[in-house]
Structure 1
Amino acid sequence: MAYRATEKTRAAQAERREVLLAEAGNLVAAGGFSAASVKAIAENCGVSVGSVYSYFDGRADLLAAVFRRGADQELNEVRMAVAEHSGAADRLRALVETFARRAIRGRQMAWSLLFEPVDPRVDEERLVYRGSYVELTTAILRDGIEEGELPEQHVGIAAAALIGAISESLTGRLSPVPVELPETFSDDDIVDAILQLCLRAVGFAA
Structure 2
Amino acid sequence: MTDASVSSSAPGLVTEEHRREAILEATWQLIAERGFHAVRVSDIARVCGTSTGTVHYYFPGKSDVLTEALKYCVEQAFNRQSVELRRITGAHERLLKLIDMQLPRVGFILDEWSIWLQYWAESVVRPEFRAAHNEFYARWQETVIRIVRRGQSQGVFRAEVDPENVALRLTALTDGAAIQVLTGAPRMTTTVMRELLVDFVQRELGA
2:36 matched to 1:33? yes
Cα pair 2:28 2:115 within 8 Å, conserved? no
Gaps of 5+ in 2: 1-7
Moved more, 19-28 or 120-129: 120-129
1:110-189 equivalent positions in 2, closer than 5 A: 110-116=113-119, 117-118=121-122, 119-148=126-155, 149-175=157-183, 179-182=184-187, 186-189=189-192
Aligned counterpart for 1:63 among listed residues 66, 83, 86: 66
Query: Aligned in 2, Cα 1:93/1:12: closer, same or farther, shift over 3 Å?
Result: closer
- Matched AA of 1:153: V
- Matched AA of 2:64: D
Deviation readout 1:124-155 (Å, 9 max, x if unpaired) = 32222211111111111112233333141332
> In structure 2, how many angstroms separate the alpha carbons of the residues matched to 1:144 and 1:151?
9
Q: Relative contact order (alpha carbons < 8 A, sep ≥ 6): 1 or 2 greater?
A: 1
- Give the aligned partner of residue 3 of structure 1: none
> In structure 2, how many angstroms separate the alpha carbons of the residues matched to 1:139 and 1:9?
40
SS in 2 for 1:54: helix
Moved more, 37-46 or 87-96: 37-46
TM-score, length-scaled by structure 2: 0.75
Greater share of residues in helix: 2
TM-score, length-scaled by structure 1: 0.76
How many equivalent pairs are there?
193
Identity of aligned residues (%): 22
Deviation at 1:173, TM superposition (A): 1.0
- Give the aligned partner of residue 104 of structure 1: 105
Query: Aligned in 2, Cα 1:19/1:81: closer, same or farther, shift over 3 Å?
Result: closer
Gaps of 5+ in 1: 1-5
